[in-house]
A and B are shown apart, each in its own frame.
Chain A
Amino acid sequence: MSDTKDRLPGEIKEPKRRSLLADFFIRLVREKPLGIVGGVIVLLLLLTAIFADLLAPYGYNEIILADRLAPPSAKHLLGADNVGRDLLSRLIYGARISMYVGLGASAINVIFATLIGLTSGYLGGKFDIIVQRFVDAMLSFPMLIIVITLMNLIGTGIVQVIIVLGIWGGILWIRVVRSAVIAIKENVYLEAARSIGCPTGSILNRHILPNIMPVMIIIFTVSMAGNILGEASLSFLGFGIPPPVPSWGGMLSSEGRTFMYEAPWLAIWPGLALSIVVYGISMWGDAVRDLLDPRLRGGVGSYRRAKMKKAG
């Protein structure tokens, strides 16, 4: 603040205000290099998924019988599977499935958790107690077991996977939203809003929802990796997305594990793609959480900066 000295007394300089988004990205670059790596991986996944039709050299179900189990070559960069489908093309289309599930299921996670958590946290009372008991009961089930049961009951398919992972994951996040709402509920401005007769709907909408926005974004990014892994696990066990749609988990179990000794590349690549994507999304999610979570702001997330300040 050296330039304040040159100003006339009485003239107060407005602190320079950046938009929230710009502030977010500046902090991201400064404090979270791994978050950027993650962000780049996420971006690559999205681009691959969106432009799969342009990037893939073959169709995902284009069968070239002559190239059955062909090893990696110039014609098939990563080899071909047991019926002669190009592995690279299937991986690229697989990115699309992962993106659908990642975005779709996480969006349902957020919407579901917010709807229930918001009403339960704000209204409190008996409704809250019933909802919390219900969440307790749901939390005692092992996730994968109950998801497999549900998938088996409603049938396999991408829409079903998204709905089941979305709603079940949403239940697990209800508590997070609820505690955020309860923390905001006691603020004076909410009391003011209530005392001037604001209807409950608009209090929730105008005053609480914007304040839990960071929590919602965190839920979205953090749950995405889990949802993608969840879909892969389901498809791996045969309860997810049925063939011939190329899901990475399904590719690994059906072609990959059947021919893992003759054609190991069929098992290696889908898993590697999955690992890289989950790594990237986790890194990105961590960075977003550290930057948005007010509890971590200036806390654990910034120790290094605090130490540098002390040293410097």
Chain B
Amino acid sequence: MIPTLLLVSVVVFLTIRLIPGDVIALMVAQHPQASIGGQQIDVEAIRQALGMDVPVPVQYVRWVGDMLRGDLGTSLWTGRSVMEDVLFKLPITFELGLMAFIIAQLVALPIGLYSAIRQDTAGDYFGRSFAIICLAVPSFWLGTMVMVLPSIWWTWAPSPVYIPFKEDPLANLGQFLIPAALLGMAMAGTTMRMLRTTMLEVLRQDYVRTAWSKGLTERVVIIRHALRNALIPVVTIISGQIGIMIGGAVIIEQIFSLPGMGRLFLDAITRRDYPFVCGINMLFATVGLIIILITDLSYAYLDPRIRYR
């Protein structure tokens, strides 16, 4: 994981420096009024603020050193530390993501399982169509519809301002429910389909037939014998979906005006605040790597043959 993380940091670091055209000139052109510490901004000032007045390898080592001390960089325009802003916004995105994840699994696992054990019944066809709809309908369209249609039909609209959890827990959860369900949709669709496929494969294995012939009840055969073995590829797919979900959160937060990481990222990128963007990218990539690690560890729990010593 450490070498990969190093490679990630090199990629993040180089993306901005390898781009054709002078990014700094662009930044100056876009923000003629901007200033750093009251001083009118020019190319040299930004070069210094970005630490670009020293050779590239030195810049890289400096940047990584800062990060190891927990400093993700400083915003070019607000002068605030990236870490500070991130810590403030992260809980919102985390809450959204966690709720989306839970909703997605609560919907997907039972339906996927049912689809597999009652293959080719009406319920199965219904479940499969539902999964495909979840995948095909873009969340940003459905999100817009959720805002438009109820307001036309029943003059109801989701709250336009963010309600913090500390102020009103119930209203906060209620506010997050619809965005989270929309965000979880794609993940639910993928999980359902994958679970159905792997369950069908597992249910045709010899040991499942043995379990049936021992006279075990359906519940025991499905849950204890089949499901656990079918879950490994599903877990892989789910962890792969988390990256997609972080991307989806950017869109959902934009639609429902939730002030989370996604909004923070979009604001930073429209301002062309590159130290900020680098910091956020690095953070997300680290989260991605941690998720991959957790996934690998969970295999050991699901499959006793894989044990890490």
Contact = CB atoms under 8 A, between A and B. Distances in A.
Contacts of A256: 144
7 contacts: A140-B288, A152-B277, A154-B19, A237-B251, A271-B140, A274-B141, A304-B120
B163 interface: no
Interface string B215-251: 0000000000000000000000000000110111011
A138 interface: yes
Contact of B244 (A138, A144, A271, A303): A144
Nearest to B8: A137
Given A140-B289, A303-B200, A304-B120, A267 B136 contact: no
A260 interface: yes
Contacts of B8: 137, 140-141
B254 interface: yes
B147 interface: yes
B185 to A, nearest CB: 12
A118 to B, nearest CB: 22
B269 A149 contact: yes
Given A142-B244, A232-B138, A252-B140, A267 B145 contact: yes
B3 A146 contact: no
Interface in A129-149: 133-134, 136-146, 148-149
A256 B255 CA distance: 12
Contacts of B197: 300
B269 A282 contact: no
Contacts of B292: 139-140
Given A267-B145, A275-B141, A140 B15 contact: no
A267 B148 CA distance: 9
B43 interface: no
Contacts of B3: 133
Interface of B: 3-4, 7-8, 11, 15-16, 19-20, 23, 119-120, 132-133, 135-138, 140-142, 144-145, 147-149, 151-152, 197, 200-201, 243-244, 246-248, 250-251, 254-255, 265-266, 269, 272, 277, 280-281, 284-286, 288-289, 292
A145 B145 contact: no
Contacts of A264: 148-149, 152
A260 B147 contact: yes
A270 B140 CA distance: 11
A271 B141 contact: yes
Contacts of B149: 264
Contacts of A232: 138, 140
Interface in A141-177: 141-146, 148-150, 152-154
Contacts of B243: 139-143
B138 A141 contact: no
Contacts of A300: 197, 200-201
A122 interface: no
Q: Mostly helix, strand, loop or mixed at chain A's interface? A: helix
- 6 nearest CB pairs, A to B: A144-B247, A271-B141, A140-B288, A279-B136, A142-B246, A137-B7
B249 to A, nearest CB: 9
Interface of A: 133-134, 136-146, 148-150, 152-154, 225, 229, 232-233, 236-237, 239, 249, 252-253, 256-257, 260-261, 264, 267-268, 270-272, 274-276, 278-279, 282-283, 299-300, 303-304
Given A140-B292, A153-B15, A267-B144, A282 B135 contact: yes
Contact of B281 (A145, A271, A279): A145
A139 B292 CA distance: 10
Contact of A260 (B20, B23, B144, B254): B144
Contacts of B277: 149, 152
A271 B16 contact: no
Nearest to B240: A139
Contacts of B250: 144-145, 148, 237
A154 B286 CA distance: 24
Contact of A282 (B136, B145, B148): B136
Given A145-B284, A261-B152, A271-B144, 15 more contacts: A141-B285, A142-B288, A143-B244, A144-B247, A145-B281, A149-B281, A150-B15, A229-B138, A233-B251, A257-B255, A267-B144, A268-B148, A271-B140, A275-B138, A278-B135
Contact of A141 (B140, B147, B272, B281): B281
B155 to A, nearest CB: 11
A145 B136 contact: no
B136 to A, nearest CB: 4
Contacts of B147: 260
A18 to B, nearest CB: 28
A145 B280 CA distance: 9
B15 A149 contact: yes
Contacts of A267: 141, 144-145, 148
Contacts of B19: 153-154
B201 A153 contact: no
B131 to A, nearest CB: 10
A141 B145 contact: no
B14 to A, nearest CB: 11
A275 B4 contact: no
A60 to B, nearest CB: 20
Contacts of B140: 232-233, 236, 249, 252-253, 271
Contacts of A275: 136-138, 141
A104 B19 CA distance: 22
A262 to B, nearest CB: 10
A163 to B, nearest CB: 13
Given A133-B4, A139-B288, A252 B144 contact: yes
